[in-house]
Structure 1
């Protein structure tokens, strides 16, 4: 009975205008929702032409060698031990390529690891096989368990990705996430945020994000952790600062009441979103 009530309250999540989630036959990244993911996309766009050019060059050289220097085309091959010019080229060119790649790569790594002053701190705890969340400054704690397929369908949420409770954060806010685990190693991964952080028992890892667009975002545990590894998704709901404050006040008293509040606010916002889209 409680599970059905929970599913009913989650239905409010389905009214959000934007959802960051994987799509069938998707080849590219999910749309970036944070500055970190935007930089990852930019680095990917820089790297892809370089990688493609290298692959094409190597393939062309291999094909040329196979065709030009096979036994039939070249029955009497020349014999030499080295070629200084070629050796200088294949040493210097890769070094230059690595330098070009390393500068933006190191800049991105620094940006990912440099955690700015946090406006909000959330602790994510991995269990077999679900996630627990604690808001140390708000006296809020709850577990987020995957919805069964029929529950997710009733709620208008994606199967295998939706949870009964969402981690709720305000938009345009620096959120520090403390990641750990209770039993085995897990991994808290959110593709649209550019986050993938190991959850290790007895250790507290840190990461951060600043979501710049309201909506629902989905991730999954990305470290093999047992028989139900594929069934411990992550759901983050990004809301306005005002909605977050209302949710936090309610969640500190009763997490189910907070979820019901979000459902009502989403239902109230749906007509406005529909009107603005016309």
Structure 2
């Protein structure tokens, strides 16, 4: 598992995040090639002593520098639009969870169960167990089954929040009075950390998100145990 505070992207834990990483590398390579070409042209222009004061225009060069950038933009736009539609697609979710943002904690309601809901607060630094991450651990994690389409309904109780888990490629605004939805598939078991990504007040940085992905049989046992204790 990638460290949640590392520089750059975390390791992908969902198919959509894998696509986002591939698109990032694709776009970065195009930017690198363009930058190399521009730097070479600048260096060649500055270091060359050849001049010709009678050259006023060149139709061929103008055609090339008009068509080539348009072609490059198409190379970037097509995969970008594909991923945009993939992120917006929600097909036959196996589980629906409602995430409600509060000042300053998250509440989770498992809509497919009659009485399965809990609040998720950040664990104070002095109560952390060895190996747990400061400002990122919660007392109750959002538990989901692995390799199952999960739909998350996101809203807020007071002000704007944003439910975001980078390694799952998920980020959705929580707006009071509005129900937004997003979806993800956890492709492997593990703990995936996120934080509220909307400046929501004084304790904005103290309402983390922890998604725990576990095999389906363990998820069924976990949900049965919570329902028995409810």
Query: Does TM-score exceed 0.5, indicating one fold?
Result: yes
Q: How does 1:1-150 map to 2 (within 5 A)?
A: 19=1, 21-24=3-6, 26-27=7-8, 29-68=9-48, 78=53, 82-138=57-113, 139-150=115-126
* Counterpart for residue 147 of structure 2: 172
Structure with higher helix content? 1
**How far apart are residue 66 of structure 1 and its match?**
4.1
Shift in Å, 1:188 = 0.8
Moved more, 172-181 or 84-93: 84-93
Distance in 2 separating the partners of 1:180 and 1:227: 20
Q: Using the alignment, how far apart are the partners of 1:78 and 1:184 within structure 2? A: 64
C-alpha RMSD of matched pairs (Å): 2.0
The one-character-per-residue Cα deviations of 1:160-195 (angstroms, maximum 9, x if unpaired) are 111111000111111000111111211111111111
Q: Which has the higher contact order (CA 8 A, sep 6+)?
A: 1
Structure 2 segments unaligned to the other structure (5+ residues):
none
* TM-score (norm: length of structure 2): 0.91
Number of matched residues?
229
Query: Is the partner of 2:154 in helix, strand or coil?
Result: strand
Give the gaps of 5 or more residues in structure 1: 1-18, 256-278
SS at 1:96 equivalent: helix
Aligned-pair distance for 1:210?
0.8
